[in-house]
Amino acid sequence: MEVKIGVQHAPREIVLESGQSAEEVESVVAEALAGKSRLLSLVDEHGRKVLVPADRLAYVEIGEPSPRKVGFGAL
């Protein structure tokens, strides 16, 4: 699933493909915004961890789950 994170005072947004469900991402974001954790921590499909300070979050856009790509598709 594609997740876009806007960070205050940053010219570009962070875009990552996450293996987490929309509900999991939403609960992690809600905890960060509620002050339960100081960092928003998400893991992408390759196992890399993305950390964003919770007080710098501008927005988080949670996309639709992306289907698995198989084979050679026409562009």
Residue 69 is predicted with a pLDDT of: 65
Specify the CATH number of the domain 2-62. Answer: 2.30.30
Written as one string, the DSSP assignment of 38-70 is SEEEEEBTTS-EEEEEGGGEEEEEE-PPPPPP-
Residue 72 is predicted with a pLDDT of: 72
Residue 40's pLDDT band (cuts 50, 70, 90): very high
Across residues 6-20, what is the average pLDDT? Answer: 93
What single-letter amino acid sits at 75? L
Q: Are 42 and 6 in contact (CB under 8 A)?
A: no
Residue 66 is predicted with a pLDDT of: 61
pLDDT cut 70: percent of the chain above it: 87
Residue 74 is predicted with a pLDDT of: 60
C-alpha distance from residue 29 to each of 16, 56, 57 (Å): 15, 12, 9
